Amino acid sequence: MSQHSTSLSLQAEDNAQSSTAVFLVLRRMRAPLLVLILTFSLSVFGMTLMPGRTPDGKPWTMDVFDSFYFMSYTASTIGYGEIPYPFSPAQRLWVTICIYLTVIAWAYAIGAVLALLGDKGFKTALSAQRFTRVVRHIREPFQLLVGFGQAGELLARSLDDMDRRLVAIDTDQSRIDALELASFHNDVPGHVGDGRNPEELIRAGLLNPYCSGVLALTNDDECNLAVVMTAALLRPDLPVVARTTSRSIAARMRDFGDPRIIDPFDLFGDELLLDVTAPDTARLINWLTSPAGKHLTPLPHTPGRGRWVVCGYGRFGRRLTEDLLRHHIPVTVITPTDDDLPEGVTHLRGDATHPDVLRHADLATAVALAAATDNDTSNLSMIVAARRENAGLFMVARQNQPVNAPLFHALHLDATLVPTQLVAREVAARIGDPLLWRFVEGARREDDAWSQHLLARLEHDCGENRPNLWQEHLDGTDNPPLASWLASGEGRLGDLLRDPDDRDERLHCVALLLKRSDQSVLAPDDDEVLRHGDRLLLAGTSDAQRDLDNTLGVAQLFEYAVRGHRVGSSWVWRTLSRRS
């Protein structure tokens, strides 16, 4: 869609909202306004008919202008006096009647105005008009968030900390009220709207040229599907992130372009199995995606190879069981119904909250237990009962309600699934740093030996605290020597990572990812040949980041660090190298 047609669509939408509010006012105030007009007209006309006398006793009646003037200030309760002559008894009688008539008319009109101001439809129309106008005037990239629930609020705060703009809609008025009261650094416009309605998405800025992405994070999979469909048809250029726990819905979403689908149950299962099968890889990913400065933790407690007991076979239990079987891990499923379990699963029928049922599960020979029901009370009781049977079990639980977080924390579980937090963290990582996310996705496919080697490099060059992460775009626009070096086909990564103050020293940083067009190279070595337009994701100290920025930005420093050529005064380039 062209920018011109987009602007026309937004203008038409804004005009429609303005017309809705105006027409609603005219419709509701039609009768009160007619009463006021008729009352005032009758008063003015009657006043021109009332007989009066001048001070010298001559008959006199008001003309239309004097009558209009007198009734205007009388009806507004100002009351200057009787003009231009003192009134006769007939005139005073008519004025008295008019005063009571206008009081009744004004009371009726004011009551209608107050009723209109309190009318839900009128407030909705005004809110929609104001929201559309605010969104239309946004002049920086923003994400359209559909669903401001628990996951949406966590994500909004994460993106706000990254200085990313958001526009949010939700069907629940209380959530939008909470949004307006929340303390965000940037203004977050919010509106009550249904994501199934394309007009609501358009009103929220879907056609705005500054809209940079759509996030469908409601609890309703059908609604998220409708958002994906609308975005794909109206703005196929936009990246879309959608939440769903249904594989059939996910398949239907994929029919509309290439949305990034977040399934918290699949995601948690993948991370949990990564902890079990590749603990060093999980340790590397968790460290690099944690806040800067966090200490590298030792290997977490992981269960050995052995049987798992899964209590509950709902959406989470089903996905976890499938993940375990895919890694050839034996599973016992406890469920009170005869579910269609996959081949290779041991089925124990019963209520896992009952102690006798857990005893029959032979927990003494198991290595892990997962409390996977959608009831927090049941999950907590299972964990406590299972620990009495085997205190060494690796404990996994699903937490459904955020208010129960202190109870789950008190049990010191090995892994806790909180779907809303998992979804918010995943989406924030994808949006906040796409290159880091590419690295994470690639690292999950590597084995532990690769991760151990990279961890050793990071610890050697950067220390045990989580290093700074930054990106460098190699285009050479402001540095001709860099541009010619990249074009020569001889530019190697190791030469670029030399200290601009002493090229015999290497910068304390490690290249995590090299992105070239749609290809990515994980942890490229020093012999990797660089090209124009490459993007690098690096991890290192703040000094290394500053020195590399100077190398890429100052031609003299580049010539020395990369080629060993000293250009210009020694004092000049050394002074430049110390600039931050």
Give the start-to-end residue ranges of the domains of the chain.
3-117, 139-262, 266-430, 467-577
Per-residue pLDDT, averaged over 354-383, amounts to: 91
Give the per-residue pLDDT at 470. 92
Mean pLDDT of the 234-249 span: 92
**pLDDT at position 20:** 61
From 74-88, 331-345, 476-490, the region with the lowest mean pLDDT: 74-88
Whole-number Å distance between alpha carbons of 541 and 577: 16
pLDDT at position 370 is 94
pLDDT of 574 reads 52
For residue 537, the surrounding DSSP H or E stretch is strand 534-540
* % of the chain beyond a pLDDT of 90: 39
Give the DSSP letter of residue 209: T
Q: Report the distance separating Cα 323 and Cα 303, nearest Å.
A: 15
Within 8 A by CB and 6+ apart from 296, the residues are 283, 287, 455, 459, 464, 465, 466
Tokens of 571: 């004092």
Give the SS3 label for residue 212: strand
Fold of 266-430: Rossmann fold (3.40.50)
How many CA atoms within 13 Å lie on the side-chain side of 163? 1
Q: Which of 123-127, 168-172, 482-486 has the lowest mean pLDDT?
A: 123-127
Residue 371 is predicted with a pLDDT of: 94
Q: Under DSSP, is residue 536 helix (H, G, I), strand (E, B) or coil? A: strand
Question: What angle is formed at CA 344 by the lines to CA 343 and CA 348, rounded to 5 degrees?
Answer: 100
Q: Which residue has the tokens 């003494």?
A: 364
pLDDT higher than 60, residue 296: yes
Task: Tell which CATH classification among 1.10.287.70, 1.20.1260.10, 1.10.238.10, 3.40.50.360 matches the domain 3-117.
Answer: 1.10.287.70
pLDDT of residue 307: 93
Instruction: Kindly report which listed range (132-141, 233-242, 247-256, 337-346) carries the lowest average pLDDT score.
Output: 337-346
- Superfamily classification of domain 139-262: NAD(P)-binding Rossmann-like Domain (3.40.50.720)
Range 125-154 average pLDDT:
88
Q: Which amino acid is at 528?
A: E
pLDDT exceeds 60 at position 12: no
Task: Inform me whether the pLDDT recorded for 577 exceeds 70.
Answer: no
CA–CA distance, 468 with 542 (Å, rounded to integer): 7
> Is pLDDT of 575 > 60?
no
In percent, the amount of the chain with pLDDT more than 70 equals 92
Min mean pLDDT across 10-24, 30-44, 110-124, 303-317 is at 10-24
Distant-in-sequence, close-in-space partners of 208: CB < 8 Å, separation ≥ 6: 6, 10, 135, 136, 138, 142
Q: If pLDDT is split at 50, 70 and 90, which confidence band does 272 have?
A: confident
At 6 the pLDDT is 45
pLDDT, average across residues 454-474: 90
In this model, does residue 580 exceed pLDDT 50?
no
Burial (0-12, 13-18, 19+ Cβ within 10 Å), 235: buried
Distance of CA 328 to the CA centre of its chain: 37
pLDDT for the residue numbered 425: 84
- Residue 10: its pLDDT value, please? 45
> In this predicted structure, what is the pLDDT of residue 570?
42
Average pLDDT of the segment spanning 2-30: 57
The pLDDT score that the predictor gives to residue 256 is 92
pLDDT of amino acid 497: 92
- What pLDDT shows up at residue 290? 80
Tell me the backbone φ, ψ of residue 513, rounded to 5 degrees. -155, 140
Q: How confident is the model at residue 128 (pLDDT cuts 50, 70, 90)?
A: confident
**Looking at domain 467-577, which of 3.40.50.150, 3.40.640.10, 3.30.420.40, 3.30.70.1450 is its CATH number?**
3.30.70.1450
The predicted structure's pLDDT at residue 3: 45
Three-state secondary structure readout of 69-80: HHHHHHHCCCCC
Q: State the pLDDT at residue 57.
A: 84
The average confidence (pLDDT) of the chain is 86
pLDDT at 288: 87
In the predicted model, what is the mean pLDDT of residues 149-158?
A: 88
The single-letter DSSP state of residue 366 is E
Q: What are phi and psi of 334, to 5 degrees?
A: -105, 115
Which of the residue ranges 289-298, 395-404, 433-442 would you say has the lowest mean pLDDT?
Answer: 289-298
Sheet holding 509-516, edge to edge: 468-474, 534-540, 509-516, 519-522
Side-chain half-sphere exposure of 155, counting CA atoms within 13 A? 34
Q: How many whole angstroms separate alpha carbon 550 and alpha carbon 183?
A: 37
Return the closest-CA partner of residue 562 out of 530, 535, 537: 530
Q: Residue 24 has what pLDDT?
A: 67
Of residues 77 and 143, more confidently modeled: 143
Cβ-contact 166, 188 below 8 angstroms:
yes
Same fold, 139-262 and 266-430: yes
Q: Using omega within 30 degrees of 0 as the cis cutoff, is the peptide bond preceding 84 cis?
A: yes
Alpha-carbon span 234 to 231, nearest angstrom: 5
Average of per-residue pLDDT across 504-532: 91
pLDDT attached to residue 8: 44
Q: What is the mean pLDDT of residues 193-208?
A: 92
